[in-house]
């Protein structure tokens, strides 16, 4: 059904296939420093995955409504909030990828950029982000990765590698009282991500140019791990 998907993706073995396993995740694998399940996440719910489903499946016709997948480790490593912020939705739409299709290190860049902008009272925008980062294919895989643009380093690499995350993805669905919470970004893996090259200042809106000039003038490589740790601490 998915001839475009890499073989190792099709071989992922699902973990959270029952309500009992989800409860176990929320209790024993859901430490204090994990963003899913906090008060602002209550409008969304975890549901079990069917054993015959893949992380790259397209279930746009699901009678129970829209859902998306996230790798479970993401909520422990990156202070990701649900519903997603407008900046995050717009960025996923721009590169045409689903939430689980963006590499975990790249999510750290996205959140790190948002946190950094907030600390300086700036509005994070897609164009400003794509001045410092460009979207590329991760080897021969379909995961999409953001790499820092040469000469415009802003954030350090979050982690060198991730291990043991495959198959451990969460199925997240809206509660019926607000079915629009998963609108405005791709929910299911796409065959053709839209790779983005580095932006040129001259072709950007004035506000985005000002944000880029501001960060460039600082000449600082911000530590992504520190930014994310501070965000987790503020949420405790």
| Residue at 122 is within a domain | yes
Q: Work out the mean pLDDT of the chain and round it to a whole number.
A: 83
Provide the 3-class DSSP secondary structure of residue 172: strand
- Number of domains forming the structure of the chain: 1
What percent of the chain stands above pLDDT 90? 38
Between the CA atoms of 225, 230, 232 and 234, what dihedral angle is there, to the nearest 10 degrees?
-170
Checking if the pLDDT of 108 tops 90, the result is yes
* Tokens found for residue 24: 């176990």
Give the model confidence (pLDDT) of 176-204 as tens digits.
777 788 899 999 888 888 888 889 999 89
Question: Within 120-205, where are the H helices?
Answer: 126-132
Question: Within 52-194, where are the H helices?
Answer: 74-77, 86-95, 104-119, 126-132
The residues near 69 (Cβ < 8 Å, ≥ 6 apart) are 55, 98, 99, 100, 169, 170, 171, 172
pLDDT band at residue 31 under the 50/70/90 scheme: very low
Residue 166 domain boundaries: 7-234
Chain length of the chain: 236
| Residue at 199 is within a domain | yes
| Residue at 113 is within a domain | yes
| Residue at 2 is within a domain | no
| Residue at 1 is within a domain | no
| Residue at 74 is within a domain | yes
Between the CA atoms of 164, 136, 117 and 85, what dihedral angle is there, to the nearest 10 degrees?
-70
pTM for this prediction:
0.88
| Residue at 143 is within a domain | yes
The residues near 160 (Cβ < 8 Å, ≥ 6 apart) are none
- What does the pLDDT read at residue 64? 67
pLDDT band at residue 151 under the 50/70/90 scheme: very high
| Residue at 228 is within a domain | yes
């Amino acid at each position: 059904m998915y001839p475009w998907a890499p073989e190792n993706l099709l071989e992922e073995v699902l973990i959270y296939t029952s309500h009992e396993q989800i409860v176990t995740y929320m209790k024993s694998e859901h430490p204090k420093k994990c963003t899913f399940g906090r008060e602002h996440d209550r409008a969304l719910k975890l549901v079990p995955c069917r054993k015959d489903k893949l992380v790259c499946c397209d279930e746009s016709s699901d009678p129970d409504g829209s859902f998306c997948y996230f790798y479970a480790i993401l909520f422990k490593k990156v202070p990701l909030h649900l519903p997603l912020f407008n900046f995050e939705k717009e960025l996923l739409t721009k590169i045409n990828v689903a939430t689980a299709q963006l590499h975990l290190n790249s999510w750290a860049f996205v959140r790190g950029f948002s946190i950094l902008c907030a600390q300086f009272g700036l509005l994070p925008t897609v164009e400003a982000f794509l001045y410092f980062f460009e979207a590329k294919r991760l080897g021969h895989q379909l995961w999409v990765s953001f790499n820092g643009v040469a000469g415009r380093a802003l954030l350090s690499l979050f982690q060198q590698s991730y291990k043991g995350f495959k198959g451990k993805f969460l199925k997240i669905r809206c509660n019926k009282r607000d079915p629009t919470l998963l609108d405005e970004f791709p929910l299911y893996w796409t065959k053709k991500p839209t790779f983005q090259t580095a932006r040129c200042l001259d072709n950007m809106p004035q506000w985005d140019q000002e944000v880029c000039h501001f960060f460039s003038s600082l000449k600082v490589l911000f530590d992504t791990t520190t930014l994310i740790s501070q965000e987790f601490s503020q949420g405790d």
